[in-house]
């Protein structure tokens, strides 16, 4: 088996429009790159997903997997949520993409798709990641492997944040942090940073923004539903509810974690940004125009391709049979977390060092350097 890393090219390896096998479906699978006939990425299900967005996300997956040194290409799927029968849509998706899944294109969870949803389309496709051509079988099912790693992405985003703070400020002192998005990533990174002495001063969920000098993250977790919405009726007395859909931008902070929607910071609101360090805990959270404005203003951005790699890496480690499956659950989980943290920390440090050297395209230089080091 070759261990060549994915090669980024001008156009995807291939793109497939989905119209449904045995049912109505609108969506796409974009395979940006292939390594030894393998590629992987999540499945996004929203009402406004587009083919262009899926292609952009697939390209980001190629970059992520290259940066952490996993020999898998980048891919992504998108399903347009029409508001119809969700389970039937997922079953139709599974039947439609079955040839891709069995052919080496692994599609997992992303925005709008839960592990339970993934189980539906895996079952409909008859796809089992434990078994693949030219590789030993996994000794247990995908759920047994993957569920203990639910916080792996948040752990990586937290690692990127503290690594960047150390590079920029020597790692001293407690920093004020705003977390935009309180799904699995936002909850994990808020806990990670508070456990390390930083103050979470605002959290935004789909219902708006809450703020305090030091939010009690553990108490808030106890009142948060599975969709990441905090119960406003059970907030501690000292917690303020802020008005306005983007009120999180106006809270004075040193760090902003973006762990929710696509292009949360854009040309129309980037002028309100107060944090000097922004870490993308979600996919493509800052628009290209806003990135240029942030750079001109001296704000530092750690992009999702560096910070938000935990879940993808955890899946890639299993698909490439890199993870030591023989370890018991907790040591195996720690092994994966440590592997991800090591790659994220190294990539964050090197990215900021390249940027400090005056590069106008530090991410591209970092990707090129990783390709040279890991042929």
Residues 137-169 pLDDT 10s? 899 999 999 999 999 999 999 999 999 999 998
Cα separation values, 28 from 75, 89, 115, Å: 11, 13, 20
Whether residue 286 has pLDDT greater than 60: yes
By percentage, how much of the chain surpasses pLDDT 70?
96
How many whole angstroms separate alpha carbon 247 and alpha carbon 255? 15
Give me the pLDDT at residue 373, please: 67
Q: Indicate if the pLDDT at residue 7 is higher than 60.
A: no
- Residue 2 reports pLDDT greater than 50: no
**What pLDDT sits at residue 67?**
96
- Give me 162's structure tokens: 């503290």
**Which residue, among 301, 305, 268, 300, has the nearest Cα to 283 in the 3D structure?**
305
* CA nearest neighbour of 159 among 351, 356, 315, 340: 340
Please give the pLDDT value at position 1.
Answer: 29
User: Helix, strand, coil shares of the chain as percentages rounded to 5?
Assistant: 45, 20, 40
Q: What is the model's pLDDT at position 124?
A: 97
Give me the count of residues in the chain: 375
- Compute the distance between CA of residue 11 and CA of residue 66 in angstroms, rounded to an integer: 17
β-bridge partners, 208: 205
pLDDT, residue 137, reads: 86
Q: Look at residue 375 in the predicted model and tell me its pLDDT.
A: 47
What domains lie within the chain, and their CATH numbers?
A: 14-60+72-127 (3.40.50.10860), 152-310+341-373 (3.40.50.720)
pTM for the predicted model, two decimal places: 0.88
Sheet strand arrangement including 105-109: 14-18, 27-31, 73-80, 39-46, 105-109
Question: Could you tell me whether strands 300-302 and 105-109 are parallel, antiparallel, or unpaired per DSSP bridges?
Answer: unpaired
Contact 280, 258 (CB under 8 A): yes
Structure tokens at 290: 């806003």
Q: What is the pLDDT of residue 5?
A: 53
Q: What is the mean pLDDT of the chain?
A: 93
CB distance 16 to 74 below 8 Å: no
- Token couple for 359: 């590069």
CA-angle at 212, arms to 211 and 214, nearest 5°: 125
- DSSP secondary structure code for residue 298 in this structure: T
pLDDT value at residue 226: 86
Look up residue 101 and give its two tokens: 């899944």
Instruction: Give the pLDDT band (50/70/90) at residue 132.
Output: confident
DSSP 227-274: TS-B-GGG--TTPEEEPSTTGGGGS--SEEEE-SSTTSB-TTTGGG--
DSSP 294: H
pLDDT band at 133 (very low <50, low <70, confident <90, very high): low
| CA dist list (Å): 140 to 119, 123, 177 | 15, 16, 39
């Amino acid at each position: 088996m070759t261990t060549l890393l994915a090669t980024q090219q001008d156009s995807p390896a291939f793109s497939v429009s989905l119209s449904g096998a045995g049912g109505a479906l609108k969506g796409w699978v974009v395979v940006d790159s292939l390594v030894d006939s393998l590629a992987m990425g999540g499945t996004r299900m929203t009402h406004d997903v587009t083919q262009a967005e899926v292609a952009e996300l697939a390209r980001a997956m190629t970059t992520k997997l290259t940066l952490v040194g996993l020999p898998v290409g980048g891919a992504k799927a998108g399903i347009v949520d029409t508001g119809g029968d969700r389970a039937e849509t997922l079953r139709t998706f599974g039947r439609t993409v079955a040839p891709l899944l069995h052919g080496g294109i692994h599609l997992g969870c992303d925005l709008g798709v839960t592990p339970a949803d993934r189980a539906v389309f895996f079952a409909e496709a008859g796809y089992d990641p434990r078994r693949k051509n030219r590789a030993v079988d996994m000794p247990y099912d995908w759920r047994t492997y993957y569920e203990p790693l639910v916080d792996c992405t948040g752990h990586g985003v937290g690692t990127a944040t503290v690594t960047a703070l150390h590079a920029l400020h020597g790692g001293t002192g407690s920093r004020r942090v705003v977390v935009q998005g309180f799904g699995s990533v936002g909850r994990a990174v808020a806990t990670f940073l508070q456990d390390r002495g930083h103050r979470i001063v605002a959290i935004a969920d789909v219902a708006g923004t809450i703020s305090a000098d030091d939010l009690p993250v553990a108490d808030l977790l106890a009142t948060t539903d599975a969709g990441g919405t905090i119960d406003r009726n059970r907030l501690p007395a000292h917690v303020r509810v802020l008005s306005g859909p983007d009120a999180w931008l106006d809270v004075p902070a040193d760090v902003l974690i973006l762990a929710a929607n696509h292009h949360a910071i854009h040309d129309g609101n980037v002028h309100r940004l107060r944090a000097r360090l922004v870490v993308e805990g979600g996919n493509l959270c800052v628009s290209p125009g806003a990135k240029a404005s942030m750079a001109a203003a001296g704000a530092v951005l750690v992009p999702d391709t560096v910070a938000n790699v935990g879940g993808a890496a955890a899946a890639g480690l299993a698909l490439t049979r890199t993870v030591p499956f023989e370890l018991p659950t907790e040591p195996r989980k720690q092994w994966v977390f440590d592997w991800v943290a090591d790659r994220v920390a190294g990539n964050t440090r090197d990215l900021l060092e390249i940027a400090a050297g005056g590069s106008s395209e530090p991410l591209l230089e970092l990707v090129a350097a990783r390709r040279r080091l890991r042929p």
